[in-house]
Amino acid sequence: MKTITGLGWASDALLQQHYIDLKDRPFFPSLIQYMSSGPVVAMVWEGKGAVKTGRTMLGATNPADSNPGTIRGDFCIDVSKNIIHGSDSVESAKKEIALWFKNEELVSYTSCAFSWLY
């Protein structure tokens, strides 16, 4: 399993690249403004079913549709002020990881519990 984190302020250029698929949407400028209004914690999770499990933990994109016990269900109120992002596929994750992290920042290790779990 791999978990890498980084804390800091995301530049407008990085956020615009990250959300490039939304650039033509009317809410794009406010999304960039909101995302750059405070520090961001970027993380990489690796493991069996990491994307699917991560998306389950996050909850539905619209917090109103998120189950209690999920991050969005417990801590979000409005879709325009969503507090968390999760890649929707392994392909998206690879692109997003490359945007947020340098290769040398990614460290892989084997947990002592690996052989018990797999």
Q: Which amino acids are annotated catalytic?
A: 85
Ramachandran angles phi, psi of 37, nearest 5°: -85, -5
Strands 2-8 and 40-46, sheet pairing: antiparallel
String of b and e for 63-96 (b: at least 16 CB within 10 Å)? beebeeebbbbeebeeeeebebebbeeeeebeeb
Sorted by sequence, the CB contacts under 8 Å of residue 60 that are 6+ apart come out as 66, 67, 70, 72, 73
